[in-house]
Amino acid sequence: MDLKQLNAFIAVADLRSFSAAATKTGLSQPSLSRLLKQLETDMGVVLIDRYHRPLHLTEAGSFFYDKISTILTEIDTVTSMTQRLSAPSSVLNIGFVPSVLYGLLPEIIATLKQFSPDIDVNLKDISSYQQMDALKSGEIDIGFGRFAHQDPWIQQILLRHERYVVALPKSHPLANVRKQRLIDLANNRLILYHQTHLPVSSTVTTETATHKLSTSRVNRAAKHDASSSEPITEPLLHLFAQYGISPFMTTTVSDLQVALGLVAAGEGITLVPASLQTVRTEQISYQRLVHENVTSPIYLHTLKDFVHPKIPDLLTAIYHVYEQRGITYRQQNFVSQA
Ligand code: BEZ
């Protein structure tokens, strides 16, 4: 069994077609078929059911695909890490979720450039979840996101918790009320925008619900009924559920900008990290919440086994900005095992 055979198998399994897999791998179709036949003969197992179109994997083939694709990804990760270790790039590639760009990221990068004038930084807008693969492939060296990830290749540090504020249309009856309570917001349409949902282990269920809102509206979207034991994995619904509240109605949109656009248009309310409260202030009123623990974490992620040499400077810049602004944080350092 060799890597060429395994890559040919993965290409056929992914594309369900010999000709598409041949194009993808740059092999001729007869060479690709030969590699697959050889793999099956070596293993003594039929992996691909060739009699149906599109092609199907046999049960054994599906099992093999699941396991071997993980191993091949790990081989790619190790190869890329070894290359970076032997010749670290002079550029620091930083992945970030959009919400941190509205906050301190620009100031942190400016501070880093003051501390390290020779540094070359490349910024990439990339979701929290996709940052994990981007770190492994070497597309980014460090990622800033708002979700914790459990991954054997990745180390993360929690930088701080940022408070959520409520975003309401200026015409809303509560628009000028300072220090809002979640229960007073529950009768509004809540606009949801998170792409990544919470890991199941950190969720609560609505079995804890104590406040039940009565409504006659038929298209009630926050449909999590109190008897359900399914965990709530959407972050904003999770926050409401921690206070035993199930919002009256929800609308889900693709990102935070769209959510704030809908709030500006009077279509509902949402919660955003406090650093967003400078966006669309002509149409949106941002108010603090009384609940101190309604916060959004900011995590820094990097590989466990390879920490880019400029990352310690970046961490120093982050803590410097926090100190300048009087932001509470708990200092942590990466352990570079390289
Ligand atoms: C922050 O707001 O704490 C932050 C933003 C971007 C990168 C790191 C930290």
Domain boundaries, the chain: 3-86, 91-160+296-325, 162-295
What's the confidence (pLDDT) of residue 212?
A: 38
pLDDT one-digit tens code per residue, 35-91? 999 999 999 999 999 887 788 999 999 999 999 999 998 898 888 888 888 877 889
State the CATH architecture for 91-160+296-325: 3-Layer(aba) Sandwich (3.40)
What's the confidence (pLDDT) of residue 337?
A: 52
Q: Which amino acid is at 198?
A: L
Give CATH for domain 162-295.
3.40.190.10
Residue 208 has pLDDT above 50, yes or no: no
What count of residues does the chain have?
A: 338
Mean pLDDT along residues 203-224: 39
Q: What's the Cα-to-Cα distance from 153 to each of 77, 97, 98, 149, 336, rounded to whole Å?
A: 9, 20, 24, 10, 12
- 162-295 shares the fold of 91-160+296-325: yes
Sequence-ordered list of residues with C-beta below 8 angstroms from that of 268, at least 6 positions apart, any chain: 188, 189, 190, 191, 249, 251, 262
What's the confidence (pLDDT) of residue 228?
A: 61
- Top-level CATH class of 3-86? mainly alpha
pTM: 0.78
- Minimal-distance CA residue to ligand 1 atom 2: 104
- Most informative mutation of 142, 144, 163, 275 for ligand 1 (most atoms within 8 A of CB): 144
Sequence-ordered list of residues with C-beta below 8 angstroms from that of 178, at least 6 positions apart, any chain: 287, 288
What's the confidence (pLDDT) of residue 201?
A: 58
Residue 213 has pLDDT above 70, yes or no: no
pLDDT one-digit tens code per residue, 87-127? 778 899 999 998 999 889 999 999 999 999 999 999 999 99
pLDDT one-digit tens code per residue, 136-158? 989 999 999 999 888 999 999 99
Q: What is the CB < 6 Å shell around ligand 1?
A: 100, 103-105, 108, 144, 159-160, 298, 318
CA of residue 318 to ligand 1 center, whole Å: 7
